[in-house]
A and B are shown apart, each in its own frame.
Chain A
Amino acid sequence: MSAAAIPAGESPSRRALRRFLRHRLAVFGLVVVVLFILAAVLAPLIAPYDPLQTSWARIRKPPSFEHWMGTDENGRDVLSRVIWGARASLMAGVVSVLGALCIGVPLGLLAGLAGGWADAVISRIADAMLSVPFLILAIALAAFLGPALENAMLAIAITASPVFVRLSRGMALDAKSTDWIEAARALGNPPWRTAFVHVLPNIIPPLLVQASLAIAEAIIAEAALSFLGLGQQPPQPSWGSMLNSSQRFLTQAPWLSIFPGATIMLVVLAFNLMGDGLRDALDPRAEKR
């Protein structure tokens, strides 16, 4: 990008917004995410049927004008269950990543700014957790905590936190050597104030990028845990548990497998696109590739 293209005096957030909007796929991702959030919030209003209402008269009916995504093995409307399932999936994605941020960022800042023993202990714990593959750790935690959506979210939050520890530790280390942190300290700011008022705002952009990619991963993880029966418990709808019960009817009712899975893919794709777009928009050093 040539320097002349940048209007003089443009604020960083405006520039980020302009860059993000130029990224057509990222905007598409954002639109899809917003639509799904709306669907989750407005589920009671827009779902055509009660997601839990069973009916012996309409068991495993293929997609039709009345039931766009067909009906399941208990005669429930699949579209309504997919819409209500957005609540479990999006909540699991957002809440568990927020949890991971709340655990990971303070610990990472502490490790980076305090150094010494605190750094050694926190970093080793993060290393140890990162040495267990994400899904296996999440499954093990969820298994020991017991099967429930809340426990699955907690398990995902804990599993996702070391990434944020590493990220914020690295950023805190970078910030520590800068003049403005030196100045904040010299002015007599207590360490926690330096960390949260002076360091944190500066590392928000990379955290935001990582968070939106982490939400994509968390949604897949929630679906995986629910698929294994460790997340949302039936009859409450969730995309993962719908896929689990659909497997038995793969030959007779393939639509039961197709729609919930395609929905997961679409949402995850949207979060990934949004994350990529945010990275391009927020990272001033990112060269356009």
Chain B
Amino acid sequence: MGLWLLRRVGQVLPTMLILSMLIFGLQQLMPGDPALILAGEERGDPQVLAAIRAELGLDRPLHEQYLIWMGKVLNGDFGFSWRIRVPVSELILAKLPVTFQLASMAFVIAVAIGVPLGILSAVRRDTPADWAANGAALFGISTPNFWLGIMMILLFSVELGWLPPSGYVPLTEDPWQSLATTIMPAFVLGTGVASVLMRHTRAAMLTALAQDYVRTARAKGLPERLVVWKHALRNALIPVVTLGAIEFGRLLAGAVLTEQIFTIPGFGKLIVDAVFNRDYPVVQGVVLATALIFILLSLVADILYMLINPRLRQA
């Protein structure tokens, strides 16, 4: 187990190294000279431009720029925002809890919808219940979540007036109001993941129900309820748990548009605003941070998989 873990962590390192090069390389795609953007009004003054280039290290060769950037990133220094002159890491840490709350709520909603529906449609295979669940999942996957968000605002805020259309109240300030402002975006965000979870749960349950031990359990006269819940489900959920951890990472990405629609000041809004303001270090920082979270979650998923799968644990 220890050795396996070490190997698995070792696999992550080259991926991260290449990732850092790619994200650094994004800068090179940028049209125009960053010094010109930063100089603003003083862009006509060659001395100012030279000073900015020296400060950012833009006058050095590319590989040196990369090493300097990488060294800083390893120390937690993601550069500073060109627009508001605040360290990028501070911005990210400030916005992350908001998105984390949203993503956690979305995840709970996704599991609460996706897993039971998946079980139901596997157990009632080829019945109207199965078709309905599959149809719902197909719609969940095909509906762009930003449009779903707009439609929900139209229904619940504009027509019915039940929920605020936008804004955000921190959980620490007023938990009730916080839930009211995040429940709609969380639902919108959760539907896509619910659909994916439903499909995977269904497939895993169908595989489990076809196993010999399920036949044995049935043959020895166990009630169907026990067969489904105790024998099949426990084994079917193993791959679903792994998927769940990875899907949680996807929620962080899905939050980009959802936060934009509901004007929630989180991680996603941060990257969109940064894109509009041509605040490239912030864009880079957010991409890097998301990738790190995602890689970490995949690692957690693999470890969870090891822990809950007894066959692998012993190997």
B and A form one assembly: yes
Binding site for B on A (CB under 8 A): 124-125, 127-129, 131-137, 139-141, 143-146, 216, 220, 223-224, 227-230, 243, 246-247, 250-251, 254, 257-258, 260-262, 264-265, 268-269, 272-273, 289
Contacts of B287 in A (CB 8 A): 132, 136-137, 140
Q: Are B151 and A257 in contact (CB under 8 A)?
A: yes
Q: Are A257 and B147 in contact (CB under 8 A)?
A: yes
Smallest CB gap from B147: residue in A:
A261
Q: Are B261 and A131 in contact (CB under 8 A)?
A: no
Smallest CB gap from A272: residue in B:
B142
Q: Are A250 and B18 in contact (CB under 8 A)?
A: no
Interchain residue pairs with CB less than 8 A apart (13): A131-B19, A135-B254, A139-B256, A139-B272, A141-B26, A146-B31, A224-B144, A250-B154, A254-B154, A257-B151, A265-B144, A272-B141, A289-B206
- Which single member of B125, B147, B260, B271 contacts A136 (CB below 8 Å)? B271
Q: Are B18 and A125 in contact (CB under 8 A)?
A: yes
Q: Are A257 and B290 in contact (CB under 8 A)?
A: no
Q: Are A144 and B280 in contact (CB under 8 A)?
A: yes
Q: Are A223 and B144 in contact (CB under 8 A)?
A: yes
Separation of A134 and B261 alpha carbons in the complex (Å):
19
Min CB–CB distance B52 → chain A (angstroms):
19
Contacts of A139 in B (CB 8 A): 256, 271-272, 275
Q: Are B154 and A257 in contact (CB under 8 A)?
A: yes
Contacts of A146 in B (CB 8 A): 31
Q: Are A135 and B257 in contact (CB under 8 A)?
A: yes
Q: Are A247 and B150 in contact (CB under 8 A)?
A: yes
Separation of A136 and B29 alpha carbons in the complex (Å):
16
> DSSP majority for the A interface?
helix
* A124-B14, A129-B22, A131-B15 known; A136-B146 Cβ under 8 A: no
Min CB–CB distance A242 → chain B (angstroms):
11
Separation of A162 and B241 alpha carbons in the complex (Å):
24
Contacts of A125 in B (CB 8 A): 18, 22
Contacts of A247 in B (CB 8 A): 150, 261
Contacts of A251 in B (CB 8 A): 158
Min CB–CB distance B58 → chain A (angstroms):
16
Q: Are B19 and A135 in contact (CB under 8 A)?
A: no
- Which single member of B144, B290, B294 contacts A261 (CB below 8 Å)? B144
Binding site for A on B (CB under 8 A): 14-16, 18-19, 22, 26-27, 29-31, 125, 138-139, 141-144, 146-147, 150-151, 153-154, 158, 203, 206, 249-250, 252-254, 256-257, 260-261, 271-272, 274-276, 280, 283-284, 286-287, 290-291, 294-295, 298
Separation of A128 and B298 alpha carbons in the complex (Å):
12
Contacts of A227 in B (CB 8 A): 146, 257, 260
Contacts of A289 in B (CB 8 A): 125, 203, 206
Min CB–CB distance A116 → chain B (angstroms):
15
Q: Are A128 and B18 in contact (CB under 8 A)?
A: yes
Of B27, B144, B271, B272, most buried by chain A (CB within 10 Å of CB) is B144
- Which single member of A143, A254, A261, A265 contacts B283 (CB below 8 Å)? A143
Other A-B contacts than A139-B256, A145-B29, A247-B150, 13 sampled, CB-CB below 8 A, are: A131-B291, A132-B290, A135-B254, A139-B271, A140-B286, A143-B283, A144-B26, A228-B260, A243-B150, A247-B261, A254-B154, A258-B151, A265-B142
Separation of A133 and B298 alpha carbons in the complex (Å):
12
Contacts of B294 in A (CB 8 A): 131-133
Separation of A224 and B147 alpha carbons in the complex (Å):
10
Smallest CB gap from B252: residue in A:
A133
Contacts of B295 in A (CB 8 A): 131
Q: Are B22 and A228 in contact (CB under 8 A)?
A: no
Contacts of A269 in B (CB 8 A): 138-139, 142
Q: Are A265 and B22 in contact (CB under 8 A)?
A: no
- Which single member of A127, A136, A262 contacts B256 (CB below 8 Å)? A136
Contacts of A258 in B (CB 8 A): 151, 154
- Which single member of A127, A136, A230 contacts B286 (CB below 8 Å)? A136
Smallest CB gap from B279: residue in A:
A143
Min CB–CB distance A203 → chain B (angstroms):
23
Min CB–CB distance A48 → chain B (angstroms):
24
Smallest CB gap from A121: residue in B:
B18
* A128-B19, A135-B257 known; A268-B142 Cβ under 8 A: yes
Q: Are B143 and A265 in contact (CB under 8 A)?
A: yes
Separation of A170 and B153 alpha carbons in the complex (Å):
44
Contacts of A229 in B (CB 8 A): 276
Separation of A185 and B31 alpha carbons in the complex (Å):
46
Q: Are B249 and A133 in contact (CB under 8 A)?
A: yes
Separation of A143 and B274 alpha carbons in the complex (Å):
9
- Which single member of B141, B203, B256 contacts A135 (CB below 8 Å)? B256
- Which single member of A230, A262, A273 contacts B275 (CB below 8 Å)? A230
Min CB–CB distance A229 → chain B (angstroms):
7
Contacts of B30 in A (CB 8 A): 144
* A139-B275, A216-B142 known; A144-B27 Cβ under 8 A: yes
Separation of A242 and B236 alpha carbons in the complex (Å):
43
Q: Are A132 and B19 in contact (CB under 8 A)?
A: yes
Min CB–CB distance B130 → chain A (angstroms):
10
Q: Are B271 and A264 in contact (CB under 8 A)?
A: no
Min CB–CB distance A287 → chain B (angstroms):
10
Min CB–CB distance B163 → chain A (angstroms):
14
Min CB–CB distance B208 → chain A (angstroms):
13
Separation of A145 and B287 alpha carbons in the complex (Å):
15
Contacts of A140 in B (CB 8 A): 26, 271, 283-284, 286-287
